[in-house]
Chain A
């Protein structure tokens, strides 16, 4: 089953064309690693796939019913004035909370679960934000630089999780400068070139 079809996507900002006539499809159980230098349009492409940004040209087609998407971008979408537990309460359904608590323990966040999120380190906050993705039974996972700020063991855990989700039939789109160690097709964005 195709989870996303992108047809002739182009995006320009001012005079700067980030990408042109980008066409690809993502099937369930497959992954796409979007690569490219800084400013090549990786995050913009992700935002276009999510419907957060409109492309200059082209379209993104989802099947009916739309797949359930888990997304983590550059912003963590967690509240600094709440504790990690309160954040989880806020961001997840009650059905996902049990799984979230398991991930809290696995990622070493259980001991800080009642502390203010603002006092956690960058990496700990990133892990907390990732639990939104890890605990949700989504059809499609979209991640923008998910490995930044994570220690080696957490990176391995995330890679294993993503591989397992691909085996389960979920789709994956991610951008990362760090090798995700997940079996994915690659899409390389180069500035001012057709892909």
Chain B
């Protein structure tokens, strides 16, 4: 497992465009949005978090778009199958590494930008944790979409995984309200973490079966 973790981290680290690209686009979106509309700081505070959530959704999709396709196209998936006999560990490792290398920085960027747009410093750690757990869920869902559309273009992945992300968006909205009103935050956070962990356990199984089907 450590070898897999090391190998996936090594590969992603050398694919600058795969991890830095999504992060830069997120920064760009979060900078460009307030510049493109004419609102007061007071108004911006109210809905800036929605922009962060939507950019988190889009960037998560973008980041995981090629999570399996590169290994599929160059034949590495076949070699992995011969060694491991399934793709559970590989899928789990890849999602973990992507959350570590892209999800955590995305959550940090989201937190910092929400701070820059009027969210108080006390609420910053709460926003970071909410974004991080959401990223965990989104990366699992989009990784499934990516596995499903491995050689069929990205559209199938979007069509399948996007509806699954809608409850996450609703949950995130709920989390923001609890942060604003100071009640029930831990409950929503526990729900996000629970869903994230369940997906983390189940989704690699589904992804493994999906990838095997593509190799057939």
At the interface, yes or no: A53 with Cβ under 8 Å from chain B? yes
Q: Is the CB of B79 within 8 A of A91?
A: yes
B208 to chain A, nearest CB (A): 14
Q: Mark B60-88, 1 if CB is under 8 A from A, else 0.
A: 00000000000001111011011001000
Give CA–CA (A12, B76) in the complex, Å: 26
Question: Knowing A50-B82, A52-B216, A69-B82 touch, does A81 contact B15 (C-beta < 8 A)?
Answer: yes
B28 to chain A, nearest CB (A): 24
Contact residues of B between 114 and 130, Cβ < 8 Å to A: none
Is the interface on chain B under 10, 10 to 19, 20 to 34, or 35 or more residues? 10 to 19
At the interface, yes or no: A77 with Cβ under 8 Å from chain B? yes
Q: Mark A69-80, 1 if CB is under 8 A from B, else 0.
A: 101011111111
Question: Knowing A81-B14, A82-B14, A86-B14 touch, does A52 contact B78 (C-beta < 8 A)?
Answer: yes
Q: Is the CB of A75 within 8 A of B11?
A: no
Q: Mark B1-30, 1 if CB is under 8 A from A, else 0.
A: 000000100110011000000000000000
Q: Is the CB of A78 within 8 A of B74?
A: yes
Report how many residues on chain A are interfacial, defined by Cβ distance under 8 Å: 22
Q: Is the CB of B78 within 8 A of A75?
A: yes
Q: Mark B93-131, 1 if CB is under 8 A from A, else 0.
A: 000000000000000000000000000000000000000
At the interface, yes or no: A7 with Cβ under 8 Å from chain B? no
Question: Knowing A53-B215, A53-B216 touch, does A75 contact B14 (C-beta < 8 A)?
Answer: no
Q: Is the CB of B74 within 8 A of A76?
A: yes
Q: Is the CB of A90 within 8 A of B78?
A: no
Q: Is the CB of B7 within 8 A of A77?
A: no
Give CA–CA (A81, B216) in the complex, Å: 27
Give CA–CA (A69, B7) in the complex, Å: 21
Q: Is the CB of B81 within 8 A of A75?
A: no
B71 to chain A, nearest CB (A): 9
- B-side contacts of A90, CB under 8 Å: 7, 10-11
Q: Is the CB of A79 within 8 A of B74?
A: yes
Contact residues of A between 84 and 120, Cβ < 8 Å to B: 86, 89-91
Contact residues of A between 39 and 75, Cβ < 8 Å to B: 50-54, 69, 71, 73-75
B-to-A contact residues, CB < 8 Å: 7, 10-11, 14-15, 73-76, 78-79, 81-82, 85, 215-216
25 A-B contact pairs sorted by A residue (CB < 8 Å):
A50-B78, A51-B81, A51-B85, A53-B216, A71-B78, A71-B79, A71-B82, A73-B75, A74-B75, A75-B75, A75-B78, A76-B74, A76-B75, A77-B75, A77-B78, A78-B74, A79-B74, A81-B14, A82-B11, A82-B14, A86-B10, A86-B14, A90-B7, A90-B10, A90-B11
A-to-B contact residues, CB < 8 Å: 50-54, 69, 71, 73-82, 86, 89-91, 132
Instruction: Identify the 10 closest CB pairs spanning chains A and B, nearest first.
Output: A75-B75, A77-B75, A77-B76, A77-B79, A52-B215, A53-B216, A81-B14, A90-B7, A71-B82, A75-B74
Task: List 6 other contacts, CB 8 Å, given A50-B82, A76-B74.
Answer: A73-B75, A73-B78, A75-B74, A77-B75, A77-B76, A80-B74
